Amino acid sequence: MAEMRKDPVRRWRIEQTFARATWRRVVGAFGAQVNALSYLPKWLLLAPLIGVIAGIGAALFYEALRFSTHLFLGLLAGYHVPTPAGEGNAAGSAHYARPWAIPLAVVLGALASGLLVFTWAPEAEGHGTDAAIDAVHHNPRGIRLRAVVVKIVASAFTIGSGGSGGREGPTAQISAGFGSLLARILDLSPEDGRVAVSVGIGSGIGAIFSAPLGGAVLAADIVYRDDFEFEALLPGVLASIIAYAIFGAAFGYQSLFAVPGGYRFHEPIQLIWFALIGLLAGGLGLLYSKSFYGIVRLSHRLPISRKLRPALGGLLVGLTALGLPEVLGTGYGWVQKGLANDLLHTPLIVVLALPFARIVATALSIGTGGSGGVFGPGMVIGAFTGLALWRVLEPFAPDVGRNPAPFVIVGMMAVFGGISRAPIAIMLMVAQMTGSIALLGPAMVAVAISWFIVKHADDTMYRSQLRTRSDTAATRLQVGLPLLAMIDVASVMSRPVVVLHDSETAHEALRSLEEAGVPGAPVTDAQGIYLGTVDVDDLASANERDPHLALSTLVDVTTASVSSDATLDVGLEALLQAGGRWVTVTDGKRRIVGILAVSNLVRGWRGALDTNIKQISRISPHAVAVEQRVGSNSAIVGRPIRSAELPAECVLITVQRGDQLLFVSGSTILVEGDVVTALASSGSAKALRELLQGTPNRQLDELRHQGSQLI
């Protein structure tokens, strides 16, 4: 004790260690209580937490963006961008005071963003919403807080300096990152983790656009191309309204845009014009997506440092802005001008060029590695599309009216509603942003046509979207292995070969893993609480840099884990999120109790199959489980399953290929060494084994022509 008083640094470290241990115990106990709750009380507790962070995060980023815009464009370039009605309705500068400073400002902001992102958090590159969607599907615990902070600052640099980007991307990543943090510290199940991140995406975007209902629906609509995450809808409603309430308390509750006059649908012939908007919107949406990702691919091939690529894109945007200031920043002020018909005297050729200029500017600003969203620019492109069509039609089609606002609003809905593959959510968001609920009816024509065009082309602005919920690897396997839900993880898990402690060095940990011959291991603190995992490759790299590096700095805290009282279908999803080889099993107090590997899962499934064979005996009352390694002489090697002429009355379920467990589909191609697990009737089991093994069998020809059945 006396030594501690003499050494304040040591005392501080001990106190910090004790505080962290206490915090982990408290959070672990709270997480155990949360996970024991049913769906409704669980999300009545968690959704408000996400909503609070979403609202605060939206307010913080909004202020950061305003400051950055004032710094780069206001002070440096002497230019003030127009703002929408909900943000002051400023007219903006009529001309450039210092034209030479516009490209300079955009380049400086893009350069600062690129240096920040690619030095500290490369995953913050590009548009944050797509990264959050990817986390929903592959690792809900995987969004690092560092990436969230970097995203806020880098996006403020990119957009505030004049880069064409949306503020929804960083806002979505803030609240999605908090949802990811909740999944980690509370040890939420994979399903609850997906919902938490989805709710974060929707509530953050709903807050920054003052459109809580649209944000709530977006939480469920945006993660799939052709499906809906129903479990996220009600939590999304609660989180979004709380986020909106907090953001509105700071900046007001008015709609982002003001629409002069009103709109009343009273002439069915107007549907023709809305249908025409839909046709244009579908095509421009596809152009937007293909141009953006084309620039992404081109940027990756440039022979310059990726830290400098955003600056190159910024230079081109800045030069474009000298002729078209409408490409700078978010562009929402220009949308307001279009709604108010303040662009009536802008030359028609300029109005026609605006959608294409905005597409190119966004691709150059974000596709080269800058940071910002693509949602906002998509709506601006749609607004310019609607305005351009109105300008073309207005001289000779009196029924389009003297007010371009309906065309502008429906264009916003149709362009991004189609290419985002979230048409319902985008319609609701734009309706709330403009206070134009009456336009939803006729707008459905435009949005539906745009959506059909994009769907036919099979494209989307969010490449991380899965097509449907059944396209997740875990779902496919769970369908193929229906008995997993009947097996407890605790009944099949193995004892961990190695458990590391965070006080060890990189050298000590690497030696332990190499002696045990394992690819990685879980890590605990001094109290035995699970912290995360490390693998051999990372340890070897760290050991080369500094053998004495503390293991606590190398732990991957985002790796999924699974509770010992979970069923094996939940364990399977956690296993896939953790990389597909193994996952740590913990108890209710976050202490390590085992390891779940692919071999454990297959063994548990086969045991359940033997016990419950009659429950899945659709093939035959005497069905048997077959597990066979594919031989080099097998006639099935290198051919799709659908053309392999399998024996009748057999069902191929899974293929174990090294450390991967694959679900069999008609397009699956087997290779030598695969271990195939199947169900087969007693009469065809031998023929199936011999086909897979490569041994001739005279009964095979008699059985092949009877066809096969695949799940």
The per-residue pLDDT for 436 is: 87
Q: Do 474-603 and 618-704 agree at the fold level?
A: no
618-704 CATH pick, 3.30.70.1450, 3.40.190.10, 3.30.1280.10, 3.40.50.1820: 3.30.70.1450
CATH number of 270-469: 1.10.3080.10
Could you give the CA distance from residue 5 to residue 319 in angstroms, rounded to a whole number? Answer: 63
Beta strands in 540-604 (DSSP E): 561-563, 582-586, 592-597
Helix (H) or strand (E) holding 677, with range, is: strand 675-680
The per-residue pLDDT for 710 is: 37
Structure confidence by residue, pLDDT tens digits, 68-117? 999 999 999 999 999 999 999 999 998 999 999 999 999 999 999 999 99
Determine the residue type at 299: S
CATH number of 32-251: 1.10.3080.10
Structure confidence by residue, pLDDT tens digits, 587-612? 888 899 999 988 888 778 777 766 55
CATH number of 474-603: 3.10.580.10
The per-residue pLDDT for 574 is: 87
Structure confidence by residue, pLDDT tens digits, 213-243? 999 999 999 999 999 888 999 999 999 999 9
Determine the residue type at 675: V
**Strand partners for 628:** 676
The per-residue pLDDT for 707 is: 43
- Model pTM? 0.81
* DSSP classification of residue 471: G
Could you give the CA distance from residue 519 to residue 511 in angstroms, rounded to a whole number? Answer: 12
> In which residue ranges of the chain is pLDDT below 70?
1-21, 398-400, 473-482, 609-625, 659-661, 663, 665-666, 682, 695-711
Domain coordinates of the chain in residue numbers? 2-26, 32-251, 270-469, 474-603, 618-704
Residue 238 to residues 48, 232, 416, 613: CA-CA distances in angstroms?
7, 10, 25, 44
Determine the residue type at 329: G
Could you give the CA distance from residue 649 to residue 647 in angstroms, rounded to a whole number? Answer: 7
Residue showing tokens 């392999």: 644
| Residues near 544 by beta carbon (within 8 Å), at least 6 away in sequence | none
The per-residue pLDDT for 659 is: 60
Contact criterion met (CB below 8 Å) for 459 and 542: no
DSSP string of 606-665? HHHHHHSGGGG-SS-TT-EEEEEEPPTT-TTTTSBGGGS-PPSSEEEEEEEETTEEEE--
Residue 480 to residues 411, 476, 604, 620: CA-CA distances in angstroms?
43, 6, 14, 17
The per-residue pLDDT for 700 is: 42
The per-residue pLDDT for 691 is: 87
Contact criterion met (CB below 8 Å) for 381 and 408: no
Could you give the CA distance from residue 85 to residue 254 in angstroms, rounded to a whole number? Answer: 9
